Amino acid sequence: MITTSGLTKVYRSRGREVTALDGVDLHVREGEVFGVIGQSGAGKSSLIRCVNLLERPTSGTVTVAGRDLTALAGRGPRAGRELRQARSRIGMVFQHFNLLSSRTVRDNVELPLEILGASGRERSRRALELLDLVGLADKAGAYPAQLSGGQKQRVGIARALAGDPKVLLSDEATSALDPETTRSILQLLRDLNRQLGLTVLLITHEMDVVKSICDSAALMEKGRIVESGTVSELLATPGSQLAAALFPVGGDATGEDRTVVDVTFHGEAATQPVISQLARTYNIDISILGAAIDTVGGLQVGRMRIELPGRYEDNVVPIGFLREQGLQIDVVDGGDHAADAPADRALLVKEGAK
């Protein structure tokens, strides 16, 4: 549904150049909720603004629903009309709502329809329908100053849906909201995704957003996509930065000749007592250094950092047992044989990818 290829954005000011996007390749499948996460300055907002051409890319292509939007930019009046028509099928939800204070809630939702030339009756009908969809039918005559932050964002979502878009872009839509309101807005986005068949691309710096509603995710650093995939694929990828960030665990070896292992549980394995089975089967003492567990996409997922007695070579069989249970294993510390650890770790990663 959304594809960017070699997308680059360079900002020029006072003789200086800042590269916000550096050859970004991204693919968002139809009907999924895709999250792009990264720290401030990673290029996330530039990416989403280039997707609907609020910002013109310096180079590269943006294709939405099979249409190359970048090919329409700056190509004359006819192409300009085609671009505006294509962009009308892309809804945008902003961080700070961007509502017009002098307009009522219904009038704010009607605004895109006015621009599209819809009749007054059609605008009113559609606005009331959308306000009912986002749970604000009783606020149609209110003004933005009379609304809470969460209500304002619901109005912003209703407005974004006015043109009957197939794609909804969300630029940090929940970062200005409290945790409870954030959960309600995320649930609304997921409900709209399912009810309307919307493809949702959202920008965030909050891992909880990815855990709550995203089917797929990408990690951005310094204008580049450094990792992407479905959340389940990422959790099963050895050494995944996103998986580690989604479920952070800590803890160092308590002494020499110890093997520290990160274990990722997902699917049916998350409900099985595999650690206690390991201890009983091989009669070994296992220390739990850290753990994190949560629900992703309706499934329980977790990570645990454990310490096994002995070096990595002494624990090949117990680690193999864990892998046979369908668990993802990453060796953090293989013991005091530092020279052997990289090779052992590389072998483990290779085996885990099979």
Q: What is the pLDDT of residue 337?
A: 43
Sequence-distant (6+) residues with CB within 8 A of 259 are 253, 307, 308, 309, 310, 311, 312, 314, 315, 319, 331, 333, 334, 335
Burial of 34 (0-12, 13-18, 19+ CB in 10 A): buried
The CATH number linked to 285 is 3.30.70.260
CA-closest candidate to residue 52, choices 98, 19, 92, 20: 92
Say if CB 91 and CB 168 are below 8 A apart: yes
Per-residue pLDDT tens for 195-227? 999 999 999 988 888 888 999 999 999 999 999
Three-state SS at 91: strand
Global pTM value: 0.82
Q: Note whether residue 240 is domain-resident.
A: no
**Do 200 and 312 belong together in one domain?**
no
**Do 165 and 277 belong together in one domain?**
no
pLDDT band at 235 (very low <50, low <70, confident <90, very high): confident
What distance, in Å, lies between the first and last C-alpha atoms of the chain? 30
- Of the residues 183, 203, 235, which one is the last residue of a structural domain? 235
Structural domain containing residue 251: 247-352
**Do 77 and 103 belong together in one domain?**
yes
**Do 87 and 220 belong together in one domain?**
yes
Three-state SS at 320: helix
**Do 221 and 316 belong together in one domain?**
no
- Of the residues 215, 235, 255, which one is the last residue of a structural domain? 235
**Do 179 and 263 belong together in one domain?**
no
- 293 forms beta bridges with 302
**Do 186 and 313 belong together in one domain?**
no
Q: What is the pLDDT of residue 78?
A: 64
- Read off the DSSP letter of residue 333: E
Tell me, what amino acid is at 62? V
Q: Note whether residue 285 is domain-resident.
A: yes
Per-residue pLDDT tens for 298-351? 677 888 899 999 999 999 999 999 999 888 888 888 765 443 443 344 333 333
Sequence-distant (6+) residues with CB within 8 A of 179 are none
- Chain position carrying tokens 């099963």: 236
**Do 171 and 90 belong together in one domain?**
yes
Q: pLDDT averaged over the chain? A: 86
Say if CB 37 and CB 217 are below 8 A apart: yes
**Do 227 and 133 belong together in one domain?**
yes
Three-state SS at 326: coil
**Do 50 and 159 belong together in one domain?**
yes
Q: Measure the CA–CA gap between 184 and 118, rounded to whole angstroms.
A: 31
**Do 226 and 257 belong together in one domain?**
no
Q: Note whether residue 185 is domain-resident.
A: yes
Q: Note whether residue 242 is domain-resident.
A: no
**Do 86 and 60 belong together in one domain?**
yes
Three-state SS at 46: helix
- How many structural domains are present in the chain? 2
- 229 forms beta bridges with 217
Q: How far is CA 237 from CA 34, 95, 225, 234, in A?
A: 18, 32, 16, 5
Q: What is the pLDDT of residue 354?
A: 36
Say if CB 306 and CB 322 are below 8 A apart: no
Q: What is the pLDDT of residue 32?
A: 95
Sequence-distant (6+) residues with CB within 8 A of 116 are 88, 163
- 218 forms beta bridges with 36, 228
- Of the residues 181, 201, 235, which one is the last residue of a structural domain? 235
Q: Note whether residue 78 is domain-resident.
A: yes
Q: Note whether residue 241 is domain-resident.
A: no
The CATH number linked to 217 is 3.40.50.300
pLDDT of residue 119 exceeding 50: yes
